[in-house]
Amino acid sequence: MTCLECNKQLGYANHKNAMDTLGVELCEVHQRRITKLMDTNATPREAIQLYYGLKEAGVNAMLEWWDGNKSIDIAISRVKLNIEIDTEYDRMTHEQAINDLEKAMHSFKNGFTTIRIPHVLIKYYLKETVVNILGIMEGLRVHLKAI
Ligand SMILES: [Zn+2]
């Protein structure tokens, strides 16, 4: 068991603590850093899990990327893909829905594609979610080349 950021060996307590709080293998230093980022941006835990899932698949993504207007949960700038994690799908109001649609519209205008992923998907289907994002990236890559 090693830290996904720095490959530092994790002790039992450290590993258990990281898995209990974040669900990803991180050393104390990196766990603290991520926790601080989550506190600042209200980042859902699933965004962290997806970020490291993508990292393990070789994807260079950015957590809480500031696009000039808002902070994006996960951005993959190489293919101009923004990923937002939805945490309260069942309690979404129409105001939130139209806000999300407007944000997506602005991103599209800047050449960015936004996908929204319900947090439960990451909880139960992390591998499949990563595989699908890899497919989306491949599609976007081909598309960007064509332009
Ligand atoms: Zn570390």
- Its pTM stands at 0.91
In this prediction, residue 147 carries a pLDDT of 63
Nearest CA-CA partner of 85 in 66, 102, 71, 68: 71
Amino acid, single-letter form, for residue 134: L
- Cα 3 to averaged position of ligand 1 atoms, centre (Å): 5
- Cα 31 to averaged position of ligand 1 atoms, centre (Å): 7
Domains of the chain in sequence order: 1-41 (no CATH), 44-146 (3.40.960.10)
Q: What is the pLDDT of residues 94-123, one digit of tens each?
A: 888 898 888 889 888 889 999 999 999 999
Amino acid, single-letter form, for residue 15: H
- Cα 11 to averaged position of ligand 1 atoms, centre (Å): 12
CB-CB contact of 137 with 76 (8 Å): yes
- Cα 69 to averaged position of ligand 1 atoms, centre (Å): 30
User: Computed from CA positions of residues 147, 116, 85, 46, in that sequence, does the dihedral angle turn out positive or negative?
Assistant: negative
In this prediction, residue 2 carries a pLDDT of 94
Q: What is the pLDDT of residues 39-92, one digit of tens each?
A: 999 999 999 999 999 999 999 999 999 988 889 999 999 999 999 998 876 677
- Cα 14 to averaged position of ligand 1 atoms, centre (Å): 11
